[in-house]
Structure 1
Amino acid sequence: MKELTIGRNDAGQRLDRFLAKAVPLLPASLAQKYIRLKRIKCNNARAQRDTRLQEGDVLQLYINDEFFDKPSEANAYLTVTAPKLNIVYEDENILLVDKKPGVAVHPHDGAEYGRTLIDHIQAYLYAKGEWRPREEQAFTPALCNRIDRNTGGIVIAAKTAEALRILNQKIRDRELDKRYLAVVEGTPRPETGVLKGYLFKDAVKNRVFVTDTPQKGAKTCETRYRTLTKRGGLSLVECELITGRTHQIRAQFAHAGHPLLGDGKYGKLDPHADRRYQALYSYRLTFCFTTDAGVLAPLNGRSFQVADVEFVKTYFPDFRLPGIAE
């Protein structure tokens, strides 16, 4: 419990408005709940959110110490009172979340605190009592892979330090199989094959370029694909990254003459509808461990898939994604 004494400059304010300034990490909805539950009192008596504070009043705040920290990227999860997650799978070690397009996985320049995927994951685990930051020496639940803001799909979060260490190693050793769905313009020829090229990044323009011949600073890039169905001048393709380069699928298909639908950076905006995001989704994940996986060994051989993909239903309404046999 902490006590705050109201000084001359704070007198006359409503209780809820004072709390928003004095305890900025405490969300307004949670502050109201705590007032209702008498975990926030004024002069040891029940108060209301619109109580006018007087000089000399003493507030009793029965709330966790975390809320009294200064706002930062490390404690942005505290501003999330109702975590919004599409959970694909969860156990005591990991969490698989279906990230929707438009959601950033991490904050950028501190402008999105409380609205990113990692904020909601940490808030979810904090609310469940599975993560107690005041009791941890260093570990914080973390993401093992990233997906661009405007791309959707499965993101892996480690709930323990051991799981994080193992998953990072498995990803480096390519012992996870990730499959993507994309809608491209036209029909790739052949309908099943491998796109090969050389990719280099222009940091100033924040985009990549693909060439057919080696270039200074360029890295090889390969994407295996197969066409699943076609309709209305569009093709639904499944992609597997043989190499994992920035914007690889988007840039390689654009270079091949089949840009992704809605991709304004590497192709052109969707001519069929007002799409806000490129039609690209990391829809399936399979654990393919070839070496010891420790506590994650029970996941070996298992596949996980998102429930649905919006652009598949929109552009290929008669197509059904194959399910996963457990």
Structure 2
Amino acid sequence: MAKQPFTVVYEDNHLLVVNKAAGVLVQGDRTGDKTLTDYCKDYIAKKYEKPGAVFLHPVHRLDRPVSGLVVFARTSKALERMMLMFKKREIFKVYWAIVKKRPKDVIGKLTHYLVKDEERNVTEVFEREEPGSKRADLDYKRLGKLNDHWLVEVRPKTGRPHQIRVQLAAMGCPIRGDLRYGFAKPNPDASINLHAFHLVFLHPVKKEKLYLRAALPEEPFWEQYLEFEKVKAQDQHLENTYSG
């Protein structure tokens, strides 16, 4: 049976937040493959029996091989406000990544300067500012080791293309399955082990705080890391910690 392209995590008149499966495009590219946006529009049209065009726009993107939370706006007001919140870095993001090599520090910060090559769809990383580069910052914590791989929690401060993938690779810790940034072999399903796990933000209309979590992929390699969730629940090492 084919894997579901998404599951709904949160839904109201203003927002639709889903847990995207790895391998699904958020928005169209040259492949012409059906996108997460298309799947979610179909879902809204069917559920609410909407005969015409459905207004639904992604507020941000996840790379195709990455799983986890994607936020869609269902109204133009929500879209404008959510995009501003992302731009102003008012969205608190948590990712889990699995790497082969042990990160040097238990808790660390990474700052690099990134240049995206749109033609090759690759991001180059530099230690110092270069012409056309954009600064990328993230915090990380080493959560533990299982099956000869390390689980790393990543909290990006900026939202650059391929940021987490290229910054961890620059540290010598490419993400499992990520051939583009130096991992030795692919995952069987062409995914990479990077998951957008939590989002915390103020609802753009209701002004209540949302704490959203995307379950780990139902895949044996990922599922063994569920035991680290209790570690996460007790984690108070950075500002902006959250419940759940």
Moved over 6 A (4+): none
Q: TM-score, normalised by structure 1?
A: 0.64
2: CA distance, partners of 1:275 / 1:110: 18
Q: Select which of 173, 180, 185 maps to 2:100.
A: 185
Query: Any gaps of 5 or more consecutive residues in structure 2?
Result: 234-241
2:11 matched to 1:90?
yes
* Aligned position for 1:14: none
2: CA distance, partners of 1:203 / 1:109: 13
Q: Select which of 25, 44, 48 maps to 1:125.
A: 44
**C-alpha contact (below 8 Å) 2:89/2:158 kept by paired residues:** no
Secondary structure at the counterpart of residue 319 of structure 1:
helix
**C-alpha contact (below 8 Å) 2:5/2:21 kept by paired residues:** no
Secondary structure at the counterpart of residue 265 of structure 1:
helix
Q: Select which of 283, 288, 297 maps to 2:207.
A: 297
TM superposition shift of 1:318:
4.1
Secondary structure at the counterpart of residue 86 of structure 1:
strand
**C-alpha contact (below 8 Å) 1:103/1:149 kept by paired residues:** yes
* Aligned position for 1:278: 192
Q: Select which of 186, 204, 210 maps to 2:119.
A: 204
**CA shift in 2, pair 1:191/1:275, >3 Å:** farther
**C-alpha contact (below 8 Å) 2:115/2:134 kept by paired residues:** yes
* Aligned position for 1:320: 229
Corresponding pairs, count: 230
1: CA distance, partners of 2:135 / 2:31: 34
1: CA distance, partners of 2:172 / 2:71: 32
Q: TM-score, normalised by structure 2?
A: 0.84
Secondary structure at the counterpart of residue 244 of structure 1:
coil
Q: Select which of 31, 54, 70 maps to 1:155.
A: 70
Question: Relative CO higher for 1 or 2, CA cutoff 8 Å, sep ≥ 6?
Answer: 2
RMSD: 2.4
**CA shift in 2, pair 1:297/1:183, >3 Å:** same
**CA shift in 2, pair 1:181/1:95, >3 Å:** same
Q: Bigger radius of gyration, 1 or 2? A: 1
1: CA distance, partners of 2:79 / 2:96: 26
2: CA distance, partners of 1:100 / 1:247: 17
Query: Any gaps of 5 or more consecutive residues in structure 1?
Result: 1-82
